[in-house]
Structure 1
Amino acid sequence: MLNLSHLKSLLVLAMAAALAACAGAPKQAVDYSALRAAKPRTIVVLPPLNETADVNATNGMLSQMTMPLAESGYYVLPVAEVAETFRQNGLTTPADIQNVSPAKLHQIFGADAALYTKVTQYGSVYQVFDANTYVSASAKLVNLGNGDVLWQGMASASGKELGNAGVGGGLIVALVQAAVKQVAHSLSDESQKVAGLTSRKLLSAGQPNGLLYGPHSPKYGTD
């Protein structure tokens, strides 16, 4: 049997282990001081850099980014008009556009801030018994007045989060369902839907480490 001193020692060791585990995985903390000071009202969204093998990644992600920003309380310049302005100035690739200086972007668009994005994963992954779609992206909001980074974050989402069911029912059923999923993924643009979920996670205010509510939101100043 354990005596009292042994029991106390075990309790101390257990508490130390728990504290060490907590210390080993600290929560990410975002410094919002620059964003609160800048108070951006208008955002120009730049075409995302595509770091994937899928040529649709830039447009698929870009098409989903305006809504969460607008719902968070920011005015977002119309994406089509922004793209046409860049085209008329000879800028057609995301890399060239993101290399334009903040001062020049401010001069052209008059926006308070620009959103720079990278897509690091986009598309379907096929396995023997399953298929799934993944979209991952990172973003930063830059003050066009002085070039300071106001906020940055990253997010990922998968097709299973859209409500896809898991595979079950034995080996033959699993293989058939996997084949059906692969055909479905090739015939439908599920990646764009997953990009929408990724965008909401990344850009919606009220998310952990996400953007603050903008001045057009009734929740402005509450976070």
Structure 2
Amino acid sequence: MSTVKLSLACVLTLLLAGCATTQKPMDYSAFKQSNPKSILVLPPTNHTSEVIAPYGVLANVTVPLAEAGYYVFPVVLVNETFKNNGLTVAEDIHAVAPKKLNEIFGADAVLYIDIEEYGTSYAVLSSDTVVVVKARLTDSKTNALLWEGKASASSSEQNNNSGGGLVGMLVEAAVTQIMETALDTGFDIAAIATNRLLSPQAHNGLLYGPRSPHHGKEKPVE
């Protein structure tokens, strides 16, 4: 019996160790050397089946960037500029040479965003809206990688099942899926995910920009 308990204890220890794993500290040396003042946000690539995902994410990106102290080129103006030049697909826009983007917009840095998950899924006993995004920031003149990160958010973080048995759980899951899909809860979840991704207050987030009073006072090279 003691052997079984010891084995279970070992398994539990390994699981806890896995859960406690943290991301590798970010090296901000290239970011500080580039010291970008303005950021051009490209339309996100969408790896989900939700056609509204790019709009939900793009609409929420400007806020954390502006609050961090950067000038962000208006996304509507940026999209119109690409359309006028015959570029309407995000993957094609991401393939444009950074130097060319610098010539057109004059931004110091370019932010590339990829959407890995977006939307509400139904899993019998639960329904959850999840948004997973990753991004990288590059110097528009040298194409040097300044920063990269990934973040996620889920509606289940706030959910608290109130019981009601199996039937109650099934009904609640179905209702949740209908409501979250109809109301596009993904938009609100995307706001949380993008803030976690880009906020300087987040672990491995961006550095504060020159428009912030905190500029140059945080996150030494690790």
Q: TM-score range by the shorter chain?
A: 0.7 to 0.9
1:37 alignment counterpart = 33
2:190 corresponds to which of 195, 198, 201: 195
Kept in 2, the 8 Å contact 1:129–1:167? The answer is no
Residue identity (%): 45
How far apart, in 1, do the equivalents of 2:90 and 2:180 lie? Answer: 26
1:123 aligns with 2:110: no
Cα offset, 1:58, TM superposition = 1.2
- The CA distance in 2 between the partners of 1:186 and 1:151, in whole Å, is 33
Under a length normalisation based on structure 1, what TM-score does the superposition of the two structures give?
0.86
Counterpart secondary structure, 1:64:
helix
Matches within 5 A, 1:22-171: 25=21, 27-161=23-157, 163-171=158-166
Contact 1:167 1:177 in 2 (8 A): no
CA apart distance, 1:51: 0.9
Task: Report deviation, 1:172.
Answer: 2.1
CA deviations 1:139-181 (Å, max 9, x no partner) are 00010011101000000110123x3332522122212212211
TM-superposed CA distance for 1:46, in Å, is 0.2
- Are 1:206 and 1:213, in contact at CA under 8 Å, matched by a contact in 2? no
Cα distance, 1:27 vs. partner? 4.3
What TM-score, normalized to structure 2? 0.87
For residues 190 and 106 of structure 2, the distance between their equivalents in structure 1, rounded to whole angstroms, comes to 28
Runs of 4+ in 1 over 4 A off after TM superposition: 24-27
Give the Cα separation in 2 of the matches to 1:192 and 1:27: 26
- Aligned-partner Cα distance in 1 for 2:147–2:181: 36
Residue matched to 1:7: none
> Is 2:199 the partner of 1:216?
no
Q: Which runs of 5+ in 2 are unaligned?
A: 1-12
Deviations 1:177-198 (A, max 9, x none): 1221122123110011111110
Say which SS state the counterpart of residue 146 (structure 2) adopts.
strand
- Alignment match, 2:199: 204
Three-state SS of the structure 2 residue aligned to 1:55 is coil
Matches of 2:154 and 2:162, distance apart in 1? 16
Which residue does 2:7 correspond to in 1?
Answer: none
* Residues 134 and 156, structure 1, Cα contact 8 Å, conserved in 2: yes
> What is the RMSD computed on CA atoms of the aligned residues?
1.9
Native 8 Å contact 1:117 1:140 kept in 2: yes
Residue 183 of structure 1 is matched in structure 2 by 178
Distance, in Å, in 2 between the alignment partners of 1:112 and 1:119 is: 23
Letter in 2 for 1:191: G
Aligned residue pairs, count: 204
Contact 1:134-1:194 within 8 A present in 2 as well: yes
